Each structure stands twice: as C-alpha cells, then as structure tokens.
Amino acid sequence: MNKILLIIQREYFSRVKKKSFIVMTFLTPLLIAGVYAIIGYFTYKGIKDTHDSVAVVSNNKTLTEKLQTNDNIEYTYINKSLEEAKKAIGKADYDYILYLPEFTLDAPKGIELFGTKQAGMSLNRRVSGDIEELIRTQKLKESGISQSDLDKLKTNVDISTKKIADTGAEEESSAGASTFIAFTAGVLMFMFIMMYGIQVMRGVIEEKTSRIIEVMISSVKPFQLMMGKIVGIALVGLTQFMLWIVLTLAISTAAVSLFVNKDDVKEIAAAQAQSQVTTANPTMSAAATQAGPIGDIQKSLAGLDVGKIVMVFIFFFLGGYLFYSALYAAIGSAVDSETETQQFMMPVMLPLLLGYALSLSVVTNDPYGNTAFWLSMIPFTSPIAMVVRMPYGVPTWELALSMAILVAGFLGTVWIAGRIYRVGILMYGKKTTFKEMFKWFRYKN
Amino acid sequence: MLSVKNIVKQYATHRALDNVSLEVEKGKIFGLLGPNGAGKTSLIRIITQITAPDSGEVFFNGERLNTKHISQIGYLPEERGLYKKMEIGEQVLYLSKLKGLDSAEATRRIRYWFEKLEMKDWWSKKVEDLSKGMQQKVQFVATVLHQPELIILDEPFSGFDPVNADIIKNEILELNKNGATFIFSTHRMESVEELCDNIALINKSHKILDGTVDEIKASYRSNTYWVEYEGDYAVASNDVYDVLQTENVKANTLVKLQLKENRTANEALSLLLPHVNIHRLDEVIPTMNDIFIEKVKGQNHE
C-alpha cells in the first residue's frame, strides 16, 4: 500500500511541477475566457452595429409599399436607372444597390443586390427578410387590414420556462442556460477524459521504452504500478480542475469589477453567489463581464442546482477517466512506441467520440428520451451523456443506477487492463495483435 | 542462500526453462552463463519475482520466495533504464524508497555512494543529460543502495569504459567481502574467471553444467602442454606422450604434447632435455570461454 502511495506521489508531482502544467493551468481559463469574450463582443456588436446603406432602384409598380430603414440597413430609394446607379456606386454614399424588377407578388423573381463588396450571408438574409415582410404587409393590406391593425400584431414573445420540481415548487429555469451548461460540461468531460487518458498511455509507454519498467517491477507489483499511475494522474486532473475553478472565479470577479458599473456588480455577484455556475465553466464568467442579455441567463442559472452539477461532474470525470485510462494503460503496455498505438486507439476512441457527438446533438434536443437514457447508462458513453443531461434534471434513481454501472464498468476495465498490462510491459520487439492481448489476458499469473 | 528447485517456465509456444535447479551459496559470486535466449533472463525474472514459474520453487534463506524478499534483492537488468526527465538524486531516492528505505537513510546513503563513485555534483542533473556510462553508474548505485543480501547483475560491465568497469568491479568485490551474494549473468567469460566462484551454464532451457570455476576448469584439463624449445630435433610420439601439433616460431619450435595416462610433465621433460634447449612449458588449461563454446556447440549439434 505504501508503495502505491509512493508511486502516486511521483506520478503526481512529476507532472504538477512541469512547466507545461503550470502554463496550461493558468493560461487555459484566460484563453477560453478571452476567446469567448471576443466572440461574444463581436457577435453582440455585430447585431447592434452593422449598418449597411442600400440604394433601392425599383422598376416595380406592383409593390407599392416601401422598404423601411431599420437598425441594420438604411434603405434609400433613388430615382436613377440601374446603369446610372451602378456607375455612381464608387462615389455615392451607398454600399449596395438593390434592384427590384417588375414581378408579381406571388412570384417575386429577378431581384438583385449589387455592391463593390460581395454582400455577406447576413445582409443577404436581412434584405430578403425585409422584402418578404414587405410583400406580406402589402398582401395583408390588400385584403383589408389597416396599418394600425398590423402594428398591433407586432408583439415580442418571451417565454420563461419553469420546471415543476418533485416537491411541487416551481423552479426558474432556462432552456438556453441549461443547453449552454450541458454543452460546456460535455465538451469539458470529453477533453478531460481524452487528455488524461492519453497521459496515462504516454506514461506507460515512457516506462516501457526507457526500460525502467524491469527495475520497477522487481520492486512493485505491475498492478500497483498501473494503479499508482492512474490515480496519480487523476489527482493531477482534479488539481487542474480545482485551480481552474478558483482562477475563473478570480478572473471573472476582477473583470466584472473592472468593466461593469457598481450596481451591476452587486447584481452579478448576487447571481453568482446563488448559482456558482460560473465555477463549472470558464466561459460563463467571461459572459458575466457583459451584463444585459447574459444577465438574464445568469438569473435563470440560479434555478439550477449547480453544486450538484459540479459534484456529479467530478464523479463522472473520475469514473469515466478510470474507465478509459485503464484501457489506455493496457494499450500503452502492449506497444513499443506511440506510433504503434493507432490500431488500438480506434476502438477506444470510437465509443467516446460517439458518446460525445450523440450527447451534444440527440441528448440536448431530447434530454429525457430513450437515446439519452441509454447513452447515460452505458459506461462507455455515460460520463459525457450524464453531465449533458444533468442541467435538464435527471431522476435520482437514474443517476444512482448510472453511477453504479460506471463503477462496475471501471472495476471491470481496470481488472482486464491489469491482466494485459502485467504481460505487455515485459514484451518487446513484437508487433502486438488483439489476439495476442487476449492470450495475455488469459495467462494465469 | 538461494535454492532454485525444478523450475519450469512455459511461454505460449516455447519452454523457457525446463526443470532447472541450482544452488547459490551465501557470500559467493555466482555466474549464470548461457547463450542468448537460453533462459537466463527468464530465470532471473523468477528470482526477482517479476514473473512466477509454472512449476518448481525458489527458496531464499530456506524460506519460500515471497514479497518480503523484494527488499533483500537488488537487480540490475541488462536493459538499463531510468526516468529520463527525473533528477538523478530524486530518482535513486524514489527507487530505494520503493525498496523500503526511509527518506533520511536513503539520502544519507545516496550521498555516500555519489561521493564514492565521483558523482557528487550529479544530484540535480537529469538522466537525459548524462552519458551512457554515467547512467550505468547511477543505476548501479540504485541497485545496491538498499544493501540487499543478494545482488543480481545482468551484464554488469556492458556500456562501461575500462576505467569505470574497473571501479565497478572493485565495488562488487568490496560488497562481496562485506557479505553480499552476487549472481552474474554474462557472456564475458574473462570477467567470469576473474570474479566468479561458481557457475551454472544454461543452454536451450536446460542447465547443462554447474560447479565451482576451479573444479570445472580442472575437469576440462586434458594433460596437454605446449613446449617451446630451441634445437634441431624432431619430437615424436612415444610411450610418455603423443605429439598433437608442431609449429615453427622463428628459430624456435613449438610442440603440443599430450601426456599418456599416469605420466607426468617431468618425465616428458627428462626425455626432451638431452636433445633440446627448453624455453617454456605451459599447461594447456581450457578457458571458460573454451568450455562455454565446447559445451554449447556440442549440445547444439546433438
């Protein structure tokens, strides 16, 4: 037992002390926060600030309604022919020319948009949307609806989703926020299992190629060495995770106090205190620096039991990591170098990738469906599927069952891997096949 | 101190050890010889408890080999290896703690050995920055640091330059004088003759020869002598000896004589002395190398 502790210690400290670990740990939250902040900023700004001026050249007599200038596009009707307008485009104060030829309202064809620059997708979509709206308005008017009635039709609908808990209490929830957290948790889980699983494999290969393995095995049992490595690296993962939480909190607090005025800070801080969700993912805290629509998300986050989600995340990270890293250790023991790992990596990667892809598509769309249920039960996919389902709420019995299956699953893979590992680490110079690994598995002692 | 009894080790298609038994006496240096693939490493791995035999038993000081003995055995494998990115001092410390030493004691001993082998300044160097010979030294220290009763060295001198090989040889002799028992696995027969008290020769999974080096060599004596003389005289076989070979070396003649049963070298000399001027008389004693080759080749031709 003492020996396992020594091995865990070495595996842990040799990694934590590495420069790359320190850099990764401190930089990753900053990077992620930064990237999201930039994306958020530009998307937000893009929605608000894009301003294109479009000159409308209309040869159309059927369409009597005029395009109205709105937030994004300034429409100016000009009295020039298309040719004149095209010639003038360099000097004139419009960027695009919208040409409306003669068409019937039922089949508007031949509309063209000219510009010195290629019109982007969003402009294209907006202009066509505006025209569609225009035609609809005109048709409605022709069928006898007045402008004032039309104005009354315009309503903004904002659905606030509430979930009725087992106790009967209504919980504030937001489909948007849940999906956001589900995605982040799924991506993080996938990254963590991959990253640390592969570290285990590398560690095993390193011991094998540097030939220290024989010295080690004359002092400790192969199983102790394997478990020591797996547990040591798991602790590295947890350390990194915890540091990220702390750092993210620190960064977001600092950022919030820098960029947002004081009243907002109070509000956000309150929301944070309630939710702590920001801890689960660095991206949220980046978002927290921008109040406004994101503030709404934060409010609804308060309805989620974030503490529970974080705990479940940690459990499934450890379970999923143990499940997969044992397989990675077995692969590492069977090969002489990293280049040989490919044929064995495929069958291990595939279920993980499948779980990842399905979790982020099928499960987020229908978190209570059959597919979601089975994905979150099978230990190959459950770590990702379950954390993706968590924000939407999972019945306790399902959670307990999934945890139990995962524990049984990793005990199984650790056992199988241990049997392959003890033989594999002493095998050199032979190209290993699955058949051979199966034989190793069956060797007695 | 170590008894290996009727060990059988079977791998999927071939039998690495077939009913091998041997005895290693306390305080001796035991040579485990054999060509590549004979089963030496398999046997060592059983003694170091890396693998278990299919049948047969190993006794350590009269006790069945068990995990408790791990701390009493030091093993230097033929394929040397250390963690490349780890500091030397820390690495040796780690390995000796795994053998059951506590930190303080291990540190004290590491300092002692590093001083002794002129590697004082190496503590915080990394393995990848050391030459191969230096790495070997580090590994040797790691092998003997926990003061094991039994030290198993697989090809201990490979990779050392003559100077360092000599340093290591002297360390081995000193440890041996202080009571450590050694098992050597090697192809280098000169070091066997120099160091080993006993040997066992393994070929094709079987032990084909064992005993003390002196006995084995004596049993391979064939009463054959080289005689070098000056003088114009052709030596011919007679009832004292047979002439096996004659050669001329510059002005001298060299003959290989084999004495007949119950004859002595003195009798042969007295026959020769009246005719020639004797320069030299050497008994032809087979080297371990000759014995090794003869035994292994002989068996392979069967």
DSSP letter (8 states) at residue A357: H
Asked, for residue B298, whether it belongs to a domain, the answer is no
Specify the higher pLDDT residue, A156 or B255: B255
DSSP state of A50: -
User: Cβ contacts (< 8 Å) between B82 and chain A: which residues?
Assistant: 210, 212
Domain check: are B77 and B192 in the same one?
Answer: yes
In a domain, B300, yes or no: no
Q: Which residues of A touch B (CB under 8 A)?
A: 3, 6-7, 10, 14, 206-207, 210-220, 426, 439, 445
Amino acid at A374: W
Is residue B57 over pLDDT 80?
yes
Q: In the prediction, which pLDDT does B105 show?
A: 92
In a domain, B289, yes or no: no
Are B7 and B62 part of one and the same domain? yes
Which helix (H) or strand (E) segment holds residue B15: the answer is strand B15-24
Q: Does B293 fall in a domain?
A: no
Provide the residue range defining the domain that includes B271: 222-284
pTM comes to 0.74
Q: Do B142 and A214 touch (CB under 8 A)?
A: no
Residues B44 and B124 in one domain: yes
Domain end (from B161, B191, B218): B218
pLDDT at residue A235, as a whole number:
94
Q: Check: CB of residue A7 under 8 Å from CB of residue B95.
A: no
Residue B299 lies in a domain: no
The predicted-structure confidence for A230-253, as pLDDT tens digits, reads as follows: 999 999 999 988 888 788 777 767
* Whether B50 and A426 lie within 8 Å, measured CB to CB: yes
Residue A359: DSSP 8-state: I
Distance from CA of A22 to the nearest CA of B (A): 17
A73 forms beta bridges with: A52
Spatial contact of A323 and A410, defined as CB atoms under 8 Å apart: yes
Q: What is the CATH number of the domain that holds B141?
A: 3.40.50.300
What pLDDT does residue A112 have?
86
Do residues A207 and B127 make contact, with C-beta atoms less than 8 angstroms apart? Answer: no
Q: Which residues of chain A have pLDDT under 50?
A: 262, 265, 268, 272, 274-293
pLDDT per residue as tens digits for the range B240-254 = 888 888 888 888 888
Which of the listed residues B192, B218, B244 is the one where a domain comes to its end? B218
Q: With contacts defined as CB-CB under 8 Å, which chain A residues touch B85?
A: 14
Selection from B153, B212, B189 nearest residue B291 by Cα: B189
The full set of domains in chain A, from first to last, is: 2-42+175-442 (no CATH), 51-147 (3.40.190.10)
